[in-house]
A and B are shown apart, each in its own frame.
Chain A
Amino acid sequence: DAGITQSPRHKVTETGTPVTLRCHQTENHRYMYWYRQDPGHGLRLIHYSYGVKDTDKGEVSDGYSVSRSKTEDFLLTLESATSSQTSVYFCAIRDGTSGSYEQYFGPGTRLTVT
């Protein structure tokens, strides 16, 4: 299994509070991604990173920010959580050196905003 961990694994927070989710990899992969998964939707890309300090928006980036100060860590921040951000959040990584586009996922974080 790819060396990807996510923390916390579960979190319950109140509307309006800031929340930061962490993704940590031990594979030294260049690319990292944050997705959310909701019933009735496929996985949707929030933000991604193509290197340290290099990030870009995905399909559903409103209300989220990211940072990547080290190769191994990619943080997702909800500045002011809303109930619509209740979801399961998955981090993924991709090597990118071999021309492959396969991504490998972390175990997920279940976030509930009350």
Chain B
Amino acid sequence: RKEVEQDPGPFNVPEGATVAFNCTYSNSASQSFFWYRQDCRKEPKLLMSVYSSGNEDGRFTAQLNRASQYISLLIRDSKLSDSATYLCVVNLRGSQGNLIFGKGTKLSVKP
């Protein structure tokens, strides 16, 4: 079983839609959680960290459920510029900060 699993998509949504991405992780020693965004042929960029209490940054909301080992990202009012691949990322306790990446979920926002 892969350590971080995501639906690969693609998710094709119209502008203005709300879209949700889900991610599950298998290692209970996971201690830090992130969503990164990666544009085509570019480097991953940190979108947001995910905290146990949930956190919001503008149109983006991230949730963490430790009991279910599940992370989510909600994007409201989708923009064309949100089109990208979204990577779910975890860090294991005691791993020197090494990150484990999901394969990503591709989002395409259409006019």
A48 touches B44 (CB 8 A): no
A42 touches B87 (CB 8 A): yes
Q: Per-residue 0/1 for B9-49: is the Cβ within 8 Å of any A Cβ (1 yes, 0 no)? A: 00000000000000000000001101000000011111001
Q: Choose from A42, A44, A107 the contact partner of B42 (Cβ within 8 Å).
A: A107
> Closest approach, in angstroms, between the C-beta of B51 and any C-beta of chain A?
12
Q: Interface of chain B, helix or strand or loop or mixed?
A: strand
Residues of B participating in the A interface, judged by any CB pair closer than 8 Å: 4, 31-32, 34, 42-46, 49, 87, 91, 96-104
Q: Interface of chain A, helix or strand or loop or mixed?
A: loop
B101 touches A102 (CB 8 A): no
CA A14 – CA B4 in complex, angstroms? 34
Contacts of B32 in A (CB 8 A): 101
**A90-B44, A101-B32 known; A40 and B103 CB under 8 Å?**
yes
A102 touches B49 (CB 8 A): yes
